[in-house]
Chains A and B, each alone.
Chain A
Amino acid sequence: MHSLGQRVPDEDQKIGSLAIEDSQLAAAVLAKDRKATAEFVARYADSVYGYIHARLAPRYDQVDDLVQEVFLSAWENLGRYRGAGPLEAWVMGIARHKIEDYYRARLRAPESIDDPDQIPVAPVTTSDIHDFLEQSERRKKTWEVLAQVSDQYRFALIWRYWDKASAREMAQKTGKTEKAIERLLARAREEFRGRWNHGQ
């Protein structure tokens, strides 16, 4: 497999040309090498897209814009990449910041008042979900339930439990108090669990 846009090398040219090192790729993109820029997109678009797609679902309308923002931001800041770690991790760091910005904006907005009739009362069940749901089924159900809760609850839950942000960190980034975030999370968890059990 040769890199995107790279001529298929002769055997004696293969060493060093098959895999462009991250720092070399970054330098070539900074030099405005159009083929290296295409390689940059081809290498990381799937990871960035997969991450953002999962974090924004089911609100897919913003996914394309955010993916593009990540790459434009990466280009603007590429001069700061020192090659200390993998370029992919560096790009994914930008993607995480973009998602945090998105969550922050959504969580800062006043919380919508849900119709209490539409929220099922959370029955207290202690059934162990791992016993009867396979991983893919659980993922599917998780998405179904996340899609039913409000945007604020969904973003708060994903930010806290999948992206492992602490309540304090979320509070700092949204300008809310830690208590307010904990209350928001408590309501979000309760609604999530209620809907999860309701759908069994």
Chain B
Amino acid sequence: MASEHDERFMEKIAAVELAELEPAPPYLKARVYSALLVQQTETGHLESLTRCHSRGHELCVFEQLVRISPIGETAKSLNICRVCHARVLAEHMDQPPIFWPGCPYVEFKKS
């Protein structure tokens, strides 16, 4: 009897969702993105920046430099974010001082 009462009580309580949607902190989005890129490179190169640009994506200033450089497509397929200070800042700060367009880490802090 008491158990049935508790059961009904819990069902009433659970009628209210536990949380209002809590947005993911920007640093976490940055870390998740970095982890995904690392995981993707474990089985081969990323899609080249040439192809990325032709798909219509906006590249950051550093990616643009690599894209227009007279180097092979393999070099343009490297995960250059791995050596970028924007990534390091974004993974540790919610409002990193990075502002240039086309950088996913900059976009994460806006989202």
Contact = CB atoms under 8 A, between A and B. Distances in A.
Interface string B72-103: 00000001010000000000000000000010
Interface string A58-79: 0000001001100110011000
Main secondary structure of the interface of A (DSSP, over half): helix
Given A34-B37, A64-B28, A161-B11, A50 B23 contact: yes
Interface in A15-72: 17, 28, 31-38, 40-42, 45-50, 53-55, 57, 64, 67-68, 71-72
Main secondary structure of the interface of B (DSSP, over half): helix
A189 B3 contact: yes
Contacts of A184: none
Given A33-B55, A38-B33, A162 B14 contact: yes
A4 interface: yes
Contact of B21 (A9, A37, A46): A46
B44 A186 contact: no
11 contacts: A32-B45, A33-B46, A37-B36, A45-B32, A46-B22, A57-B19, A75-B36, A142-B13, A186-B3, A189-B3, A196-B13
B44 to A, nearest CB: 7
Interface residues of A, number: 56
Nearest to B77: A32
B36 A50 contact: no
A162 B55 contact: no
A96 B18 CA distance: 15
Interface in B1-47: 2-3, 5-7, 9-14, 16-25, 28-29, 31-33, 35-37, 39-40, 44-47
A139 interface: yes
B69 interface: no
B24 A48 contact: yes
Contacts of A196: 9, 13
Contact of A54 (B10, B19, B33, B104): B19
B24 A46 contact: yes
A57 to B, nearest CB: 7
